[in-house]
Copies of this chain bind each other. A is one copy, B any other.
Amino acid sequence: MKTPYYAVIFTSILNQDSEGYLAMAEQMEGLAKEQKGFLGIDSARNEIGITISYWKDEESIKTWKQQNDHIMAQKMGKEKWYKSYSVRVARVEREYGFRL
Protein backbone atom coordinates (compact mmCIF):
# COMPACT_ATOMS: atom_id res chain seq x y z
CA MET A 1 0.00 0.00 0.00
CA LYS A 2 1.17 3.51 -0.68
CA THR A 3 2.02 5.55 2.42
CA PRO A 4 0.72 7.60 4.06
CA TYR A 5 -2.53 5.84 4.89
CA TYR A 6 -4.31 4.99 8.13
CA ALA A 7 -4.54 1.95 10.39
CA VAL A 8 -7.21 1.29 13.01
CA ILE A 9 -5.69 -1.02 15.60
CA PHE A 10 -8.44 -2.78 17.52
CA THR A 11 -7.36 -5.01 20.42
CA SER A 12 -9.90 -6.82 22.57
CA ILE A 13 -10.45 -9.44 25.25
CA LEU A 14 -13.68 -11.40 25.05
CA ASN A 15 -16.00 -12.43 27.88
CA GLN A 16 -16.13 -16.17 28.61
CA ASP A 17 -19.54 -16.41 26.97
CA SER A 18 -18.97 -15.05 23.49
CA GLU A 19 -21.88 -16.75 21.72
CA GLY A 20 -22.70 -15.02 18.46
CA TYR A 21 -19.44 -13.08 18.41
CA LEU A 22 -17.75 -14.88 15.53
CA ALA A 23 -20.74 -14.47 13.22
CA MET A 24 -20.88 -10.75 14.01
CA ALA A 25 -17.15 -10.32 13.51
CA GLU A 26 -17.29 -12.01 10.10
CA GLN A 27 -20.28 -9.91 9.10
CA MET A 28 -18.51 -6.70 10.13
CA GLU A 29 -15.37 -7.70 8.24
CA GLY A 30 -17.46 -8.27 5.11
CA LEU A 31 -19.18 -4.93 5.58
CA ALA A 32 -15.91 -3.07 6.19
CA LYS A 33 -14.56 -4.38 2.89
CA GLU A 34 -17.46 -2.70 1.08
CA GLN A 35 -16.74 0.74 2.57
CA LYS A 36 -15.18 3.59 0.66
CA GLY A 37 -11.51 4.00 1.44
CA PHE A 38 -11.05 0.44 2.76
CA LEU A 39 -7.57 -0.89 1.92
CA GLY A 40 -7.23 -4.17 3.83
CA ILE A 41 -7.54 -6.05 7.11
CA ASP A 42 -5.37 -8.33 9.27
CA SER A 43 -6.75 -10.31 12.19
CA ALA A 44 -5.54 -12.84 14.77
CA ARG A 45 -6.76 -13.95 18.19
CA ASN A 46 -5.26 -15.86 21.13
CA GLU A 47 -5.73 -14.52 24.67
CA ILE A 48 -5.96 -11.12 23.03
CA GLY A 49 -7.60 -10.42 19.71
CA ILE A 50 -6.00 -7.98 17.28
CA THR A 51 -7.74 -6.65 14.21
CA ILE A 52 -6.04 -4.00 12.12
CA SER A 53 -8.01 -2.40 9.32
CA TYR A 54 -6.28 -0.13 6.82
CA TRP A 55 -7.91 2.96 5.35
CA LYS A 56 -7.17 5.60 2.76
CA ASP A 57 -7.81 8.55 5.07
CA GLU A 58 -9.39 9.66 8.36
CA GLU A 59 -12.64 10.54 6.63
CA SER A 60 -13.15 6.88 5.62
CA ILE A 61 -12.56 5.79 9.22
CA LYS A 62 -15.11 8.26 10.58
CA THR A 63 -17.72 7.19 8.02
CA TRP A 64 -17.18 3.51 8.87
CA LYS A 65 -17.37 4.20 12.61
CA GLN A 66 -20.81 5.77 12.08
CA GLN A 67 -22.21 3.21 9.65
CA ASN A 68 -25.56 1.98 11.05
CA ASP A 69 -24.95 -1.78 11.27
CA HIS A 70 -21.49 -1.09 12.64
CA ILE A 71 -22.94 1.12 15.41
CA MET A 72 -25.28 -1.73 16.33
CA ALA A 73 -22.33 -4.17 16.44
CA GLN A 74 -20.34 -1.78 18.63
CA LYS A 75 -23.26 -1.57 21.07
CA MET A 76 -23.70 -5.37 21.18
CA GLY A 77 -19.94 -5.72 21.63
CA LYS A 78 -19.96 -3.55 24.74
CA GLU A 79 -23.07 -5.17 26.19
CA LYS A 80 -22.31 -8.82 25.46
CA TRP A 81 -18.97 -9.81 24.07
CA TYR A 82 -16.09 -7.61 25.13
CA LYS A 83 -14.48 -7.74 28.51
CA SER A 84 -12.35 -4.83 27.33
CA TYR A 85 -11.09 -3.26 24.15
CA SER A 86 -8.97 -0.44 22.82
CA VAL A 87 -9.02 1.41 19.52
CA ARG A 88 -5.99 3.24 18.19
CA VAL A 89 -6.05 5.34 15.06
CA ALA A 90 -2.61 5.62 13.51
CA ARG A 91 -1.08 7.17 10.43
CA VAL A 92 1.18 4.68 8.61
CA GLU A 93 4.33 6.59 7.69
CA ARG A 94 6.34 3.86 5.99
CA GLU A 95 6.33 0.15 5.33
CA TYR A 96 8.61 -2.54 4.03
CA GLY A 97 8.42 -6.26 3.68
CA PHE A 98 9.97 -9.56 2.69
CA ARG A 99 8.59 -11.81 -0.07
CA LEU A 100 5.23 -10.06 -0.17
Contacts and interface: CB of A to CB of B under 8 A. Distances in A.
Interface of A: 7, 9, 11, 42-50, 52, 78, 82-100
Nearest to A93: B89
This protein's copies in its complex: 2
B95 A87 contact: yes
Main secondary structure of the interface of A (DSSP, over half): strand
Contacts of A92: 9, 88-90
For A46, A49, A90, A96, which residue has the most chain B Cβ atoms within 10 angstroms?
A: A90
Contacts of A90: 7, 90-93
Contact of A87 (B45, B82, B85, B97): B97
A9 B40 CA distance: 14
Contact of A94 (B52, B83, B89, B95): B89
